[in-house]
Amino acid sequence: MSALALWSRRYGAMIRNAWLVDLQYRAAIVLWVLWGVTEPAIALGIWWSIAGDGAVGGYDRADFARYFFGVMLVNALTIAWDSWQLDRWIREGDLNYRLARPLHPVHEALADNLAYKARSAGTIIIVWLVAASVWPAVRLPLEPGRWALVALAVILAAAMRFFISFTTGLLAFWTTRATAIMELHAGVSMFLAGRVAPLALLPPAVATVAQVLWFPYMLAFPVDLLTGAAPTGAALMRGFAGQLIWLAIWITAYRLAWHRGLRRYGAVGG
């Protein structure tokens, strides 16, 4: 069997498994989607009333609506819960039998991610289509070229957030507060990743700091591409370059944490 066929069979099985497990908790899925939607909805509500009939920093009401719908969708497509998962695996010893399998545990986590992202993003796309049918402000133009760029940016952002979350979860090898570190990261990303406001509305100094860190490339950059506050030319290249560089850095961090941590884990159990 070719390597490609083997891997697609493995992933097919793991994704199907993740789906079937989750399908037992359908109501729970709806609740999680709702939870993901309220934060941008509340931010949109506030900016909506601040903007009034004018514009704030170049954003009018329709721009804000598009931006925060974009945040909902891109966030659903890129969010990763692996810190919490790994923290549990490591603390409760569920990692043990996963290590004994002939497949690296990172693949199970990736398959899980694909399964829940497809599900929640699917729900949000339906909500968006319904909203767009009655509310022209949130309609997006059909431009295949841009959509392809958006897809690429979303995949890179999702990969980066996966490795950030997975690596932070691995800190559970050393500390019992790995998930607290992830909460801190989430708090900072409220501002620097563009969750409470488009980056253009941050104080310029803060926005500059954000640009050299990984935060904008997790969310704000793909959202801006999607809504058509489109960076073009040099800014576009800079965006993708930032995504690639930070993805490489986080993959390196993940490899380091995995190998060091596993050695330590063995020492504890042995």
What's the number of CA atoms in the CB half-sphere (13 Å) around residue 189? 20
Which residue in 70, 83, 255 sits closest to 184, CA to CA?
83
**For residue 155, which of 63, 104, 221 has the smallest C-alpha distance?**
221
Segment lying near other proteins (by CB under 8 A), choices 84-92, 145-153, 162-170, 185-193: 185-193
Residue 58 binding other proteins, by CB under 8 A: no
Please tell me whether residue 201 binds other proteins under the rule CB under 8 A.
Answer: yes
Per CB under 8 A, 84 contacts other proteins? no
Name the CA radius of gyration of the chain, rounded. Answer: 20
**Closer residue to other proteins (CB): 149 or 207:** 207
- Transcribe 125-154 into DSSP letters: HHHHHHHHHH-GGG-----HHHHHHHHHHH
- One residue of 58, 93, 122, 187 binding other proteins per CB under 8 A: 187
Q: Which is nearer to other proteins, 2 or 49 (CB)?
A: 49
CA distance 119 to 130: 17
For 213, the 3-state DSSP assignment is: coil
The reply to whether 19 sits near other proteins by the rule CB under 8 A is no
User: Applying CB under 8 A, which of residues 6, 20, 23, 34 lies at the interface with other proteins?
Assistant: 34
Q: How far is the CB of 206 from other proteins (least distance, A)?
A: 9
Q: Pick the piece of the chain touching other proteins (CB under 8 A) from 82-90, 175-183, 235-243, 250-258.
A: 175-183
For residues 114 and 180, which CB has a smaller minimum distance to other proteins in the complex?
180
Smallest distance from other proteins to CB 45, Å:
5
SS (H, E, C) 29-69: HHHHHHHHHHHHHHHHHHHHHHHCCCCECCECHHHHHHHHH
Contact residues toward other proteins (CB under 8 A) are 24-25, 27-28, 31-32, 34-35, 37-39, 41-42, 45-50, 56-57, 177, 180, 183-184, 187, 190-191, 196-197, 201-203
